[in-house]
Amino acid sequence: MAFGRLERARGNEPMSDINVTPLVDVMLVLVVIFILSAPLLAGSIRLQLPRADGAQAAAAGGAQPISVALDAAGQAYVQDQPVLDDAQLAERLRELAARAPDAEIALRADTAVPYGRVVQIMGAAHAAGLTRIGFVTEPTREGAAPGQKP
């Protein structure tokens, strides 16, 4: 009979390696979310504004103007939010007029928009009680004749 210690199997030792698989999974999900949401953050409306010799920046100070834009297809945007039809446009303008009756409208219309559509927008603004309308244009470049593309 031998008196000795019985060999025991060693238990689970702590793992000293970092498991990067969950980290990579989370990072890939974040990249996909960023890729999908990035175009939504850059919600600017593409317009080709008309050019004019007298175009200049608005004077600083005063209230922020109400932004109304018309793209080449005639789609209207109020404060960079699309409006579905003329009734919704009139409602949005009435709401903004109720908050600030002396506000000025900064009307940005693409050069391809027919004049009749611009007049419809002006009529809706006037019916809502907004009578101050400014037309946003781009200045002509130096040395270019009026009406000539830069």
71-121 tens-digit pLDDT:
888 889 998 899 988 899 999 999 998 988 888 899 988 888 888 888 898
**pLDDT, averaged across the chain:** 80
Q: What is the DSSP letter of 112?
A: T
> Which residues are registered as beta bridge partners of 106?
67, 134
Break the chain into its structural domains and give their ranges: 71-139
Contact 45/80 with Cβ under 8 angstroms?
yes
- The pTM score is 0.57
Instruction: Note the pLDDT of residue 84.
Output: 87
| φ, ψ for residue 29, nearest 5 deg | -65, -40
Those residues with Cβ within 8 angstroms of residue 148's Cβ, 6 or more apart along the chain or in another chain: 140
- The residue type of 149 is K
Instruction: Note the pLDDT of residue 94.
Output: 92
* ∠ CA 50-112-121, rounded to 5°: 85
Instruction: Note the pLDDT of residue 26.
Output: 94
Cα gap 129→110, rounded to integer Å: 24
126-142 tens-digit pLDDT:
999 888 888 888 877 66
Distance, first Cα to last Cα, the chain: 105
Instruction: Note the pLDDT of residue 56.
Output: 58
